Amino acid sequence: MEHLKDIPVFVEAVEAGGFSAASKKLNLTRSAVAKTIARLESRLGVRLFHRTTRSQNLTEEGRFFYERCQRAVEEIRLGQAELESGRREVRGKLRVTMPVIFGRRCVAPTLIKLLEKHPGLELDLSFSDRVVDLRTDGFDLAVRSGRLKDDAETMVRTIAFQRLMVCASPAYLQNRGEPQSLDDLPKYEGIIYGKPESHETWVFPTPDDPWRVVLPRSRLRLDDLDAILNAGLEGHGLIWLPFWMVRDHVASGRLRQVLKSVPSVSFETHAVWPRSPVMLPRVRLAIDTMVRELPRFME
């Protein structure tokens, strides 16, 4: 903890634009600021500033370290201000990464509503199907679906269950007929989600085995769920997508559910955040809100 006293000096040196300006704000000598930065660099084993006789500019490592330190110092300042004012509000920036389609359709609308009730809250939402490193990329929270790898550095909470459904356009089923069992699926064209290096399969729960794995015949592989939905609507084959994506099209008759007697698989969707002794109030608010609101999108 003794080492943490150098962090505010480093942050002030960055924000003030140099050691001299920081020394005036901190009521220290320029030499004291320089020695503090040098001590911090020695302990970290990296150079934080490029120094000249007239200026000090952040190195790449310094910029990375500043972004992390600045957020920590901001939290301390906010906490102090709220305690002094007697108000304990949800404030500050919340950075969330989430899958593209699920995030855009379900998660983002849920979180954006929080801005109406919490004027001090800022949202920075990122849409990507890539699994990011929360600490390295500076995210407070991630929304991830499916099985997660064990990670001692993160915490996890289930926020929703997504049920999948096999559908096709009426035109496709009229031409090919309708599959009556899972054994029939390999005889039909399936529009597969995945990347070239992956080998995507469809899975179904069965009474005798936890999972029945089926690999449909496919000449069309897409890595975007909306593109798969559109291809299914155009009659290019069977699709296996979350219920919330196909629900309206099934209701309108543009798609027809097949294999209704086969149980649907549901996979978990999780909130994942960096492990910490104390959860930030804005992270807790976001997770509690998703647990409460996301299930209505799944129905």
What does the pLDDT look like over 23-38, one tens digit per residue?
A: 888 888 989 998 998 9
Q: In percent, how much of the chain has pLDDT > 70?
A: 91
Over the stretch 287-297, which tens digit does the pLDDT of each residue have?
Answer: 999 999 998 88
Look at residues 89, 106, 90 and name the one whose alpha carbon lies nearest to residue 98.
106
**pLDDT grade for 58, boundaries at 50, 70 and 90:** confident
Report all structural domains of the chain as residue ranges with CATH numbers, in order of start. Answer: 2-85 (1.10.10.10), 92-161+268-298 (3.40.190.10), 162-266 (3.40.190.290)
At residue 195, does pLDDT exceed 80?
no
Taking the complete model, does pTM exceed 0.75, yes or no? no
Calpha distance 40→42 (Å, rounded): 5
Q: Is 255 strand, coil or helix?
A: coil
Residue 14: burial class (beta carbons within 10 Å; 0-12, 13-18, 19+): buried
Look at residues 67, 96, 90 and name the one whose alpha carbon lies nearest to residue 78.
90
Predicted pLDDT of residue 62: 86
